[in-house]
Amino acid sequence: MMNIGEVAIKSGLPAKTIRYYEDIGLIRPDRHDNGYRLFRQTHLHQLMFVARARSLGFSIDDCRVLLALYDDDSRASAQVKALAQDHLAQIDAKIAGLRAMRDTLADLVDACHGDSRPDCPILKDLAAKHHG
């Protein structure tokens, strides 16, 4: 059994995050008679699982589903794949949006002389988009 400090070190998660995961029911550590949280190896594994899923950008709700699927020996891997494919599509859409944003900003930076003149295409574009 581990206390929250020990499980925080082993999982690499801040104690505050672990308490939050408990508050939302993502993990359910045992409680000692004095009310202190007691974590088993299973809880540590769950926390590390969630930390890895979060590092891949999965939402808390997705993590909840993934944990349930992980614990379900009768799961179909198609369920897991569908969830991951949906998340991958969201990432691809974000990347496309970031590329478009980058291209627009690069064009504006190229168009700006960046000298002592007051004329600035970057400011003109921002003003035009803001008002139009």
**Cα–Cα–Cα angle for 119, 121, 123, nearest 5°?**
90
Specify the DSSP class assigned to residue 11.
H
Q: Is 13 in contact with 51 (CB distance < 8 Å)?
A: yes
* E strand or H helix at 38: strand 37-38
pLDDT tens digits along 3-57 = 999 999 999 999 999 999 999 999 999 998 888 899 999 999 999 999 999 999 9
- Check residue 130 and give its pLDDT: 55
Residue 53: its pLDDT value, please? 97
- Cα separation of 102 and 107, whole Å? 9
Which option is the CATH number for 1-73: 1.10.1660.10, 3.40.190.10, 3.40.50.2300, 3.90.1310.10? 1.10.1660.10
Backbone φ and ψ of 111, nearest 5°: -75, -20
What is the gyration radius of the CA atoms in the chain, in angstroms? 23
Measured between alpha carbons, how far is residue 54 from residues 3, 34, 83 in Å? 23, 32, 14
pLDDT, tens only, 78-101: 999 999 999 999 999 999 999 999
Does pTM surpass 0.85?
no
